[in-house]
């Protein structure tokens, strides 16, 4: 069975860049790899629903609603994901279940967050039977720096906004960062990496966290 590595972090923290760099590094080391990026916009009805949510089409909704859309998108990929883990040395995920936990919990009142996190995790891991990651790399970046990175992004297929409804919400990224930090402190297999450095330096830390597990 291959190693399942998930990249997590608030928007603009460099998840896609680091996922690509890890795949290149592993391939150069002779390892077979596969990668997935969630949500898979344009691939299924759940991801299309996520795009509509992030564009604000449904207005203010309870966090349970987008949680089910994000979870459904991963459920639609489950068979491909399980097959990839069986066939490759390394499977790399740009966002995974923890993104759902962090962002939906950030949209809930603090007192509701533990119950919501447990509910989403039960759906994704127990009901949908998604494989748990062996390593979760949390790319940590100050919120203001992350906002700058988001504003520099090229236009994205899922939205015509410079910032989607979550990115533009005043305190959402800070709340999501706090939930991510709590998850990293309480769950096994997490590696916290300072993402406020050149991408090559971040990639070296990521490789050190993964290489010994391959």
15-30, pLDDT tens digit by residue? Answer: 999 999 999 999 999 9
> Mean of the pLDDT values across residues 93-121?
97
What is residue 169's predicted lDDT score, i.e. its pLDDT? 58
Please report, for the chain, the start and end positions of each structural domain, with discontinuous segments joined by +.
Answer: 3-211
Residue 163's pLDDT band, with cuts at 50, 70 and 90, is low
- How many angstroms separate the first and last alpha carbons of the chain? 10
Residue 126's pLDDT band, with cuts at 50, 70 and 90, is very high
What is residue 165's predicted lDDT score, i.e. its pLDDT? 63
Residue with tokens 């449904």: 58
Q: Is 1 a residue whose pLDDT tops 90?
A: no
Beta strands 135-140 and 3-8 are: parallel
Nearest to 200 by CA among 25, 31, 8, 77: 25
Task: Determine contact, residues 22/210, Cβ cutoff 8 Å.
Answer: yes
Instruction: Judge residue 185's burial from the number of C-beta atoms within 10 Å of its C-beta, 0-12 exposed, 13-18 middle, 19 or more buried.
Output: exposed
What is residue 168's predicted lDDT score, i.e. its pLDDT? 60
Specify the DSSP class assigned to residue 6: E
Residue 211 has, within 13 A of its CA and on its CB side, a CA count of: 11
What is residue 149's predicted lDDT score, i.e. its pLDDT? 72
What is residue 143's predicted lDDT score, i.e. its pLDDT? 86
3-211 CATH choice from 3.40.250.10, 3.40.50.300, 2.60.40.420, 3.40.50.2300: 3.40.50.300
Q: Is 193 a residue whose pLDDT tops 70?
A: yes
Q: Is 150 a residue whose pLDDT tops 60?
A: yes
Q: Which residues contact 203 (CB under 8 A, 6 or more apart)?
A: 18, 21, 22, 25
């Amino acid at each position: 069975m291959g190693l399942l590595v998930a990249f997590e972090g608030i928007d603009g923290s460099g998840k896609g860049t680091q996922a690509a760099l890890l795949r290149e590094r592993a391939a150069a080391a002779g390892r077979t790899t596969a990668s997935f990026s969630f949500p898979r916009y344009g691939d299924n009805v759940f991801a299309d629903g996520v795009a509509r949510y992030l564009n604000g089409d449904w207005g203010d909704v309870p966090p349970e609603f987008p949680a089910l859309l994000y979870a459904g998108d991963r459920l639609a990929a489950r068979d491909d994901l399980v097959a990839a883990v069986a066939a490759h040395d390394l499977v790399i995920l740009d966002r995974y279940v923890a993104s759902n936990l962090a962002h939906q919990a950030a949209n809930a009142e603090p007192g509701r967050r533990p119950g919501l996190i447990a509910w989403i995790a039960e759906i994704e891991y127990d009901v949908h039977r998604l494989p748990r990651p062996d390593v979760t790399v949390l790319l940590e970046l100050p919120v203001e720096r992350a906002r700058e990175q988001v504003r520099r992004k090229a236009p994205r297929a899922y939205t015509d906004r410079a910032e989607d409804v979550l990115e533009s919400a005043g305190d959402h990224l800070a709340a999501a960062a706090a939930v991510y930090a709590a998850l990293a402190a309480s769950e096994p297999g997490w590696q916290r990496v300072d993402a406020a450095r050149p991408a090559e330096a971040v990639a070296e830390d990521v490789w050190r966290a993964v290489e010994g597990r391959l």
